[in-house]
Amino acid sequence: MAFNKKARTNESYDPSVMKGIIEGAGEVVEQKIVDTIEQNYMPYAMSVILSRAIPEIDGFKPSHRKLLFTMYKMGLLDKVRTKSANIVGQTMKLNPHGDSAIYDTMVRLSRGYEALLHPYVDSKGNFGKFYSRDMACAASRYTEAKLSEISSELFSDIEKDTVDFVDNYDNTQKEPTLLPATFPSVLVNANTGIAVGMASSICPFNLNEICKTTAMLIKDPEHDISSTLIAPDFPGGGNLIYDKQVLENIYKTGRGGIKIRARYTYDKAANCIDINSIPPTTTSEAIIEKVIELVKKNTIKEINDIRDETGIDGLKVTIDLKRGIDPEKLMQKLFRFTPLEDTFSCNFNVLIGTSPKVLGVKELLLEWIAFRVECVKRRTYFDLNKKRGKLHLLSALKKILLDIDKAIEIIRNTVDEINVIPNLMAGFNIDEKQAEYVAEIKLRHLNREYLVKRINEISDLEKDVAVLEEIFKSDQRIKEIIIEELSRVSEKYGQKRNTMLIYNHEISKEEIFDEVPDYAVNLFLTEQGYFKKITPQSLRMSFEHKLKDNDKISQHIETNNNFELLFFTNKSNVYKTKVSDFNDSKASVLGDFIPAKLNMDDGEMPIYMVVTKDYSGFMLFFFENGKVAKVKLSSYETKTNRKKLVSAYFDKFKLVTCYYSLAEKDYLLVSNVGKKLLVNSGKVSLKSSKTTQGISIMGFAKGQRLVSVSEYEKGKLEGPERYRAKNLPSRGFLPTKAKLPDEQLTF
């Protein structure tokens, strides 16, 4: 459905006039969202994928290619540097996206930025650093640049029709669709991009290893690339945690994650750690901020200070240690909690033709080989045609050499200039191009010496043509040429690996535990859910507790600060935490409200507190219907750091109370009619299932139920054996008449 909405202009406005100018102007159309996405969003998405974000087989995005080609056309491959602003201005003839975007592209390709293993731009001035978020580059009017030496390999024989050229955005210039790089630049320098609905993230590899692997792959398509391509090599260095299976999966699928660790040294004299290389996915500022955050949270307590000392010698982050700290153990903690160890996610998404494809390393190299074969074949065809053309022209000179005077006479006796070419063609039986060539020879060159020298070139040209024809017809010869070029590039520009390898067996497998101060504490839990951790010294100074109205202490446990805590709640859950997670308190304060501290659900309250270190012992759950469940405390132990465990006990019966014990004890059960039963916990079988219903201990008549349970203390009952039953379940026993009134008063 669609309707027209009149524009807010003169009432005499004629919509038909405007409609003739802009079709559908002022018209609001109801359209399905699927159609809108298909007609508007999808073309935009395809434009971003094909023209901006995803690199092609030469290793470049359009913005990179336009910049480098502009610099090449400016002669900056051999000349001295020029102002970056000049380069940016010239590049805008090919790239209309604004000067800041162009300059940012040049910065990322520069030597000064240090983001590439082999920078394509030789820069001078402040270009910032890839490992620093705050170290910004200077404005383009202050910096200078030219193409680096290795960039010559990107434009090798580009004038020989090795790649296709297209018009720029205003059809005033030609630009290449790809660069005929003589090495697999797509895998040598890192390239990342985020498109619409897809992304690309290609890690860099060492040039020597890539060239060798490519050459071996040309010789043998079944070559095992992992034997020559050891691992990625990042410009920032660092240590790569070598996992053969992970790398082989990346080589095969083009996807996966590579773990990179920072590299550091320990200065014993200054008692500090100097970090001089970090993972490529982070910055020095991010690392410093994370370490400061951990120090404030007391997660890391071994550090006195951290600062950025990056200078002319490169990256340097210094960490001052407290006295007596083991630097190796500290670094293990920092690797675990900070970006000093991070993962580089690989996604080898490359445009092949006009289709984005995620390729493994081997497939990507085979695509590059096919691309390079085409480049060399086109170059060979160009050279072959050129030499054939020259050979064709020189053959005319050979004929003229037989009778130079005849050629001069034909030209001299021709009345009209327009007839010179036809007369030469007829006189020497040559074609129009040959006749043009003869006619353009200068008079001074019509001597026999010049002509003989030119004709002697014919034999050399014939040999060259034969060689080129052989190359053009033989894919094997073309591949041999590519291998020679790869060897030359590797020998000329190859470097040692920046990123060192750490094998799994070299990494400490010990689990890192935070060093928790161990000292005696007193723990208090109140009926309304308040918790206090008080040292014995503080407790001696002020023993009178501050409590809320109608609140009282339900548990008091003497323990140590390095124990674990379990809070059982009225909703059949248990919350796990540590004694050290609570700050030392005083008796004169209310303490921590456990439901808020542990993020319990609405209406959930702690009913019992357990302190343990090794999860030995057991729990006893007493239910209103007289059943008792006995569960191993180890059933609540988890390998992961889960804070909440659901279904901590059977929740279909109403819970009266619960107890934790390391050994068997006697418990006194009392019903609502005053009957008592003395039972030893050994009578209850131990279960590993948390949700066990337990066994019946006390039986009841209609309307009776269990109302209280307490640990039996010697002397609490007169004649305690009277309250023990030979068989269970038992309904319990009433107290003697003499004791009934007194004992009833205690209920």
Please tell me the distance from the alpha carbon of residue 592 to that of residue 529, in angstroms, as a whole number. 8
Determine the Cα angle at 659 with ends 518 and 736, to 5°.
135
Beta strands in 462-569 (DSSP E): 500-503, 520-526, 530-534, 553-560, 564-569
Please tell me the distance from the alpha carbon of residue 150 to that of residue 121, in angstroms, as a whole number. 9
Q: Which two tokens stand for residue 251?
A: 């080589």
Q: Which two tokens stand for residue 723?
A: 């309250």
Q: How many residues does the chain have?
A: 747
Please tell me the distance from the alpha carbon of residue 396 to that of residue 421, in angstroms, as a whole number. 13
In this structure, the number of other CB atoms found within 10 A of the CB of residue 10 comes to: 7
Q: Which two tokens stand for residue 89?
A: 């201005």
Q: Which residue has the tokens 């030789």?
A: 122
Question: b/e for 443-480, b at 16 or more Cβ within 10 A?
Answer: eeeeeeeebeebbeeeeebeebbeebeebbeeeeebbe
Please tell me the distance from the alpha carbon of residue 733 to that of residue 523, in angstroms, as a whole number. 36
CB-based contacts of 48, cutoff 8 Å, min separation 6:
195, 196
| Catalytic-labelled residue, pool 41, 142, 503, 519 | 142
Determine the Cα angle at 329 with ends 324 and 331, to 5°.
110
CB-based contacts of 81, cutoff 8 Å, min separation 6:
122, 124, 144, 145, 146
DSSP 720: G
The end-to-end CA distance of the chain, in Å, is 79
Q: Which two tokens stand for residue 213?
A: 């692997």
Q: Which two tokens stand for residue 313?
A: 């010698």
Give the sign of the dihedral formed by CA 281, CA 234, CA 67, CA 137: positive
Name the 3-class secondary structure at 582: coil
Instruction: Name the amino acid, one letter, at 119.
Output: P
Residue 41 annotated to the active site: no
Residues that are catalytic: 142
